[in-house]
Structure formats: structure tokens, C-alpha cells
């Protein structure tokens, strides 16, 4: 078996998660989180659209983790993001974290907004 070392550029990978928290770049963050090349910060959830919209022109795809299960995001939020030409991929938070890490290792222009499981 051949192992490949993963290298991350500017952004930090999601190292782990659990009930109510995410560990990103070795730092535990409580609650919902937004992370990407711009850094990691608390996120206020679906009602906190401003930091997501600020990603316009900086990311191609935003992964939104909806918690333990896949759920629809508010249609107004999706429309606002897509109106700024930000691709939106919605999935459960565990799936969003895994997908984010893989694409981050490929050097893609992505960000992750996740609700805790």
C-alpha cells in the first residue's frame, strides 16, 4: 500500500468533530464554524449570511454542513450565494468536513460552513 501525504495551503483541515464542536487545525471550536483560506471563525448559522456572501470572488464552492443529517438550507440563502456566483453544496456536517478536507488537499478554492452534530 502506498500512502500519500496531504499538504494544505492557506486553510486548515478539519481534524475532528463531535457533539457541539469541531477541531480545525488542532484548535477546538464550539458551535457552528466557518473556515477556509481566510481563517476560521464562529458562524451564526443560516441567518448569518454576511460572512458567507463575503466569500464572493474568493471561493468557487462553499460546503454547508447541516448537522447530523442532510437538510435543506433556506432558499433565500441559496439564492443569495448563487447570485454572487458561489457554488453551494449542502450535505451533513460529517460529509461536508470530509469533502472539504479532500478538496482542500487538492488546492481548490473552497470554504466550509458547518452546524454542529
Superfamily of domain 31-114: MTH938-like (3.40.1230.10)
d(CA 21, CA 115): 9
Classified as helix, coil or strand, 99 is helix
Q: Which of 82, 41, 92 is CA-nearest to residue 31? A: 41
Cβ pair 18, 117 in contact under 8 A: yes
pLDDT tens digits, 4-47: 444 445 799 999 999 999 999 999 999 999 999 999 999 999 99
- Residue boundaries of the structural domains of the chain: 31-114
Report the pLDDT value the prediction gives residue 70, as an integer from 0 to 100: 97
Q: Are strands 33-36 and 110-114 parallel, antiparallel or unpaired?
A: antiparallel
Q: Give me the sheet containing 33-36, strands edge to edge.
A: 39-42, 33-36, 110-114, 61-65, 87-91
pLDDT above 90 for 60 = yes
The pTM is what? 0.91
Amino acid at each position: 500500500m502506498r500512502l500519500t501525504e496531504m499538504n494544505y495551503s492557506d486553510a486548515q483541515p478539519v481534524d475532528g468533530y463531535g457533539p457541539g464542536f469541531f477541531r480545525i487545525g488542532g484548535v477546538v471550536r464550539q458551535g457552528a464554524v466557518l473556515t477556509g483560506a481566510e481563517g476560521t471563525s464562529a458562524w451564526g448559522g443560516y441567518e448569518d449570511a454576511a460572512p458567507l456572501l463575503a466569500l464572493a470572488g474568493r471561493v468557487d464552492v462553499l460546503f454547508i454542513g447541516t448537522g447530523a443529517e442532510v437538510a435543506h438550507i433556506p432558499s433565500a440563502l441559496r439564492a443569495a450565494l448563487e447570485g454572487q456566483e458561489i457554488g453551494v453544496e449542502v450535505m451533513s456536517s460529517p460529509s461536508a468536513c470530509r469533502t472539504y478536507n479532500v478538496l482542500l488537499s487538492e488546492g481548490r478554492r473552497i470554504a466550509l460552513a458547518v452546524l454542529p452534530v
